[in-house]
């Protein structure tokens, strides 16, 4: 249910934001577009956007989590495990 809500919110943000007209510039914009690509089954495009999230903010747990999910959906389980572990480590640092 939570994932569906996140997807719905991302789709609304995508439809009514300048992201659709131009390239994303912020972590939030790349993260949102990555989620949309993932839900459309465009995992390589999602990974590319999550790579950009991580480049812009190397401490972004959500970037690693999103990319891990995309790797998992592609069947790249070793890469997914590494990203999930990094997301967990970064979240624990914030607590």
Range of the domain at 74: 2-94
The DSSP string of the chain is -HHHHHHHHHHHHHHTSGGGTS---SHHHHHHHHHHHHHTT-HHHHHHHHHHHHHH-TT-HHHHHHHHHHHHHHT-HHHHHHHHHHHHHHHHHH-
Structurally, the chain folds into a number of domains equal to 1
pLDDT, tens digit, 9 for 90 and up, residues 39-88: 999 999 999 999 999 999 999 999 999 999 999 999 999 999 999 999 99
Q: Inform me whether the pLDDT recorded for 95 exceeds 90.
A: no
Looking at residue 78, which CATH number applies to its domain?
1.25.40.10
pLDDT at 49: 97
Give pLDDT, residue 23. 84
């Amino acid at each position: 249910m939570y994932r569906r809500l996140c997807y719905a919110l991302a789709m609304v943000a995508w439809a009514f934001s300048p992201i659709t007209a131009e390239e994303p510039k912020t972590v939030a914009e790349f993260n949102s577009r990555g989620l949309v690509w993932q839900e459309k089954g465009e995992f390589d495009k999602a990974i590319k956007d999550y790579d950009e999230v991580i480049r812009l903010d190397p401490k972004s747990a959500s970037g690693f989590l999103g990319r891990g999910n995309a790797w998992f959906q592609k069947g790249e389980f070793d890469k997914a495990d590494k990203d999930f572990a990094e997301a967990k480590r970064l979240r624990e640092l914030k607590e």
